[in-house]
Amino acid sequence: MLSRTADHLYWMARYIERAETTARLLEVGARNALLPNATGGYRNDWEAVLLAKGALEPFIEKYKDTNQRNIETFLFFDADNPSSVFSCLAAARENARVVRTALTAPAWDAINSSFQELRQLQRTERSKLMVTDLCEWTLRACQLIRGAFMSTQLRNDGYDFMGIGTTIERADNTARLIDVKYYVLLPSVNYVGSGLDQSQWALLLQSMTAQRAFNWSYQGEITAAKIAHLLILNRRFPRSLRACVQWYCEHLDDLAENYQNGTEAQEVAHKLLDDLRNATVDDIFEEGLHEFLARFMTRNAEVATTVHNVYLSGMPA
């Protein structure tokens, strides 16, 4: 497969996953805004959501006031924001259009029809759109597209590049969602174990559609240690860091077998997987959850860079 084609498939998958995460963060912010604070009013965590996306500065420059209406516009519809749902799905569709012959008809139809629906939402009067409806629409659209990939695409190298793009992006996004909860949202370490801490953990599970997985996997009350295990180390939960790393290792192994050539990308990815297999929740909390997540995101980005250098840059590995 040409590196140019592989690059388009890889980034198409990453943008679809990124659109879904932006919607999940928007939903977390909207639900948190309904929680009461200590002064009897309501919490305003919108700045924390923007910090998690690394988008606070450009938002303030353009919109000034961090109210919900502005945040919704910025994170969902704003074409100037590269990580908005609109920008991500537009970029995914453009990548798909360029390599349309590498996609099945149902896969292309799922991407194209979702983008046309998004354009209709963009033209709808804003007072008729609820943020929860926008988030649910995004999740349904992204899951429809991935369902078309999984049920119709040949398991060839193109499918592997889509899988690598999806799982690298998902691993990064899961780490950011955990980080926004524990490091950014909680106002002080004095709140650890408090009612606020517990309600935010429950919201995090909701935002990742993980409540039922949690109940099936763990007994008793919701605790930080159990949720950290589910979202970081539990290989059976499809959004956990370990599951994502394991999936991209399998796709890289398939590529190495198809091309009969092992690569540095395989080595870097498998080293990260081995470290996650040997990690425990106690180790993670002893290091510091934020410090662990920051280190993980750096290593995950290293895998992405190595994949780019080995397969997508058009240069010999």
Has this prediction a pTM greater than 0.85? yes
Q: Which pLDDT band holds residue 162 (cuts at 50, 70, 90)?
A: very high
* Residue 288 pLDDT: 86
Residue 156: the pLDDT is 93
pLDDT at residue 294 tops 50: yes
Report the pLDDT value the prediction gives residue 206, as an integer from 0 to 100.
Answer: 79
pLDDT in tens, 212-228: 999 999 988 888 889 88
Tell me the β-bridge partners of 36: 42
C-alpha 212/C-alpha 7 separation (Å) is 35
Q: Which tens digit of pLDDT belongs to each residue from 240-280? A: 999 999 999 999 999 999 998 889 999 999 999 999 999 99
- 10 Å CB burial of residue 255 (0-12, 13-18, 19+) is buried
Q: What is the pLDDT of residue 42?
A: 45
- For 157-171, 174-188, 300-314, which range has the lowest pLDDT when averaged over its residues? 174-188
Length of the chain: 317
| Burial (CB count within 10 angstroms: exposed 0-12, middle 13-18, buried 19+), residue 127 | exposed
Rounded Cα gap, residues 125 and 72, in angstroms: 14
Q: What is the pLDDT, as a whole number, of residue 202?
A: 77
DSSP state for residue 88 in the 8-state scheme: H
Rounded CA-CA distance 247/251 in Å is 6
Q: Quick check: 44 and 56 in contact, CB under 8 A? A: no
